[in-house]
Amino acid sequence: MGKRMSEPERVSVFWSRVERGASRDDCWLWKGGRSGPYGIVQWREHNGVTMPRHAHTIAFLLARGWRPTRVSKLVVRHLCHQPLCCNPSHLRHGSQADNAADDQAVGREARGETQANAKLDDDMVRFMRWEAARGTTHRELAAIAGVARQTASKAIAKKTWTHIR
């Protein structure tokens, strides 16, 4: 994706590389470049730097307006277990532990597990507030962050982590 492309242009170029199925349930397969099992796209970040990104994470970004980053310790998971799929309704954020569990037991729903040593950081708190404002439950966010629900609720309600706007 070239530097000079406008936002709508590069979004449309991105989707032109995805073969969309007729129904919402179909997997939408990435037809561009690959790295291992995943689709790869050169994507310009907000700081102007172009980086190779997994195609499905960009599909997630375009559909949801945010994407998990390394800092947030979250990943975009394929509920359909098709690594090339870019159908936003098949993509969901989760922890790396969720993703590993997915790999080990395909088809088993592994969400809701807590990570023993996980704790909040600034980015996770921002993420939880962002998601809570969009309807994700505190219980679900607590599970993703690996903290007690009350801990998550306090952070989301700005009773703790008050240094984050």
**Site residues, Zn ion (CB under 5 A):** 27, 80, 82, 85, 87, 90
Q: Which is nearer to Zn ion, 42 or 89 (CB)?
A: 89
**Residue 152 CB, nearest distance to Zn ion (Å)?**
29
Nearer to Zn ion, 82 or 96 (CB): 82
- Residue 38 to residues 86, 107, 154: CA-CA distances in angstroms? 10, 19, 37
Q: Which is nearer to Zn ion, 10 or 77 (CB)?
A: 77
- In angstroms, the CA 16 to CA 139 distance is 37
Residue 53: CB atoms within 10 A of its CB come to 18
User: Minimum distance from CB of 37 to Zn ion (Å)?
Assistant: 13
Closest CA to 26 of 78, 87, 77: 87
Distance CA 94, CA 76 (A): 6
